[in-house]
Each structure stands twice: as structure tokens, then as C-alpha cells.
Amino acid sequence: MYGGGFQLPTTAAQFKNIVKSAIRKTLYDVKEMARHCPNDLRGGLELVARKLGVRRIVGEAHQAGSDSLLTCQTFIKMRECYFGDGKLANVADMITGITTCD
């Protein structure tokens, strides 16, 4: 999508805008969501999933498909446990390491 003559973004804001235009929906970053949860859910994907009782059902760590599925399952569990009653809006479109706190 961005190559073959297209310039890569030079700022975090440009990167975020490109991500938003590519996704065209609300973005949720599981790592950012974990930072806003009680009970210290911080850590890598495997650790966060384990703390939530989510287990990898196929593949190995650091394989794109398997990690994507685990990320999706972890998002669903985190949303169910910690982001009811409209709280998901608090982490919408935040990207860890890119989005700054206002």
C-alpha cells in the first residue's frame, strides 16, 4: 500500500492518519487497552492473554496468524471484563508508542 513511489510517513501523526484511513473504522490496540485495566494486565501478548485466562488454540508465538487470533481473543475477553458501559471509547484510536496523552 505504501511503497512504489509513495512517501512513508515522517511523523507519528502522519502514521496514525494512514492507519486510520487504511482501517476505516475505530482502532483498538490491545496493549493500550491493557494499560487501562486494573490488576496489572501489562506485559507481552502471551502474558496478558494468560492473565485473562485466554490460551493460544493454534500455532506458535510470533507467527502472524496465530498471534492475530490470540490478539483477537484477548481483545474480546478484555472488552467483556473491563470495557463495558461505553468505556471502550476511552481507548479508541490510541496506539501504544504513537498516541500521546493530551
pLDDT at 3: 59
pLDDT at 38: 85
Yes or no: say if 41 and 74 are a contact pair by the CB < 8 Å rule. Answer: no
Reported as a single tens digit per residue, the pLDDT across 60-82 is 999 999 999 999 999 999 999 99
Does residue 6 form part of some domain? no
Yes or no: say if 1 and 15 are a contact pair by the CB < 8 Å rule. Answer: no
Q: What is the DSSP string of 26-58?
A: ----HHHHHHTSSS---S-HHHHHHHTT----S
Does residue 80 form part of some domain? yes
Does residue 57 form part of some domain? yes
Does residue 54 form part of some domain? yes
Query: What is the C-alpha to C-alpha distance for residues 3 and 70, in angstroms, rounded to an integer?
Result: 29
State the residue range of the domain holding 43.
37-93
Reported as a single tens digit per residue, the pLDDT across 8-54 is 889 888 888 888 888 888 889 999 999 999 877 889 999 999 999 99
